[in-house]
Amino acid sequence: MELSSEIMYQASFEKNPEFEGVFWMGVKTTGIFCRPTCTARKPKPENVEFFDNTKDAILKGYRPCKVCKPLENPDETPIEIQKIMDELSVNPEIKFKDIDLVERGLQPVTVKRWFLKHHGMTFHAFQRMFKINSAFKKLQQGENVLDVALDNGYESLSGFNESFKSIIGTSPKNSKMEKIVDLKRIETPLGTMIACATENGICMLEFSDRKSLSKELEDISKYFKATIVQGENPHFKTLETELAEYFDGKRLDFTVPLAPVGTDFQKNVWEILRMIPYGTTRSYQQQADILGNPKAVRAVANANGLNKISIIIPCHRVIGTNGTLTGYGGGIWRKQKLLELEKAILF
């Protein structure tokens, strides 16, 4: 997917967000480099040059722009907030008050805005959800309701009951038949991803800016007849470790268990996807041939598009018959970066 300087300049002039992560623009007159969406005044075309990664821009002597901060992932979890979330993961019973945030150098209103933007709830609501997730699992294991309430920092049983019912939809004593799906944000070199897991395995791994994300979460909730709740899951630890190794070029295959959501046909297509070796690509036609139904190219393409477990079920390894990069839910630029990482295709 070759991009001309004219196309990149126009994208930068229009501040087109679809080109985020595709290129960076160096400004010769100021010695800085920017992301395509930078709001700073645009220089003349003859005064710019383009890079497909930040490393090359820095090696050329350019400094990162202070306006658009090209070295930062705009959706990435800030370090101090990540530390708090890590502590909650280890001990959900912890309760962070505003004074605790201030002591860590964080402004409560800033933390509130970040959680509202990225989680759709305030930080205190997020904490409550995390606690209820932990409490739910303890109740499923047969622990006493009162003990669980006290262990999670609730001073009264009525307060615990009210909070539990608002999230799970039923009271603690009636929760034995209920189910939850755990959800967690995971940071990667290509952006923030949202992971979901059941006790059987990972059921979703998508980039947080995917347009159909809310619909996919709704489908997962209906499929498992479960409430999706922020919280930890043993499979998340394996997933994070293996993803880090993959992006470091040290892992070719994933072993983390999966619990894909889809029809039998879709699951068959996804199994064929998992058979595509690291560093290679296939066409939709080849997928249909392997499936034993050469005429099912369109159905195969649709199933690929409905895959909710990115990277591990590698739909990025499927390209057009003529070698072109076809659609990808996480964005064509990410598909290109993944294939470059795997050395499957270079531009």
Question: Residue 38 catalytic?
Answer: no
Structure tokens at 30: 């100021």
Q: Is residue 274 within a helix (H) or strand (E), and if so which, with residue range? A: helix 264-274
**Quick check: 95 and 79 in contact, CB under 8 A?**
no
**Quick check: 158 and 42 in contact, CB under 8 A?**
no
Work out the burial of residue 6: count CB atoms within 10 Å of its CB; fewer than 13 is exposed, 13-18 middle, 19 or more buried. Answer: exposed
Structure tokens at 295: 């005429």
Q: Is residue 49 within a helix (H) or strand (E), and if so which, with residue range? A: strand 48-51
**Residue 35 three-state SS:** coil
**Quick check: 307 and 313 in contact, CB under 8 A?**
yes
One of 38, 68, 196, 315 is an active-site residue; which one? Answer: 315
Torsion of CA 188, 85, 123, 38, to 10 degrees: -30
Q: What is the DSSP letter of 309?
A: B
Smallest Cα–Cα separation from 219: which of 210, 230, 228?
228
Distance separating alpha carbons of residues 44 and 256, to the nearest angstrom: 50
**Residue 179 three-state SS:** coil
Q: Is residue 27 within a helix (H) or strand (E), and if so which, with residue range? A: strand 24-27
Residues labelled as active-site residues? 315
